[in-house]
Amino acid sequence: MSVIEYAAKFTELSRFAPNQVATEEIRMDHFEQGLRGEVKQIIAGYTYDNFQEINQKAVKIACIMNKTEIENREKD
């Protein structure tokens, strides 16, 4: 699942469990925990002010990683 797909699913499912995402901090923590390894490792090194910010950064990081992976495959 891509980060964009994960974020959409996370937002959708959050509506059914509002107590699990009661505050912005808890929501961001749960979102971070669901990210895949490499993106999660990078995201964990920073502080974010809100869910939108962490979501945008995760998507950007994933896009850069995918682009780099494609470029590396083309070199081989």
Do residues 50 and 23 touch, judged by C-beta distance below 8 A? no
Query: Measured between alpha carbons, how far is residue 1 from residues 24, 26, 45, 47, 55 in Å?
Result: 23, 22, 22, 24, 15
Q: Which pLDDT belongs to residue 49?
A: 95
The domain limits of the chain are: 3-75
What is the tens place of the pLDDT at every residue in 6-63?
A: 999 999 999 999 999 999 999 999 999 999 889 999 999 899 999 999 999 999 999 9
Q: Which pLDDT belongs to residue 21?
A: 92
CA dihedral 27, 6, 60, 32 (to 10 degrees): 40
Q: Which pLDDT belongs to residue 74?
A: 86
What is the C-alpha separation between 7 and 49, in angstroms, rounded?
17
What is the C-alpha separation between 32 and 54, in angstroms, rounded?
8
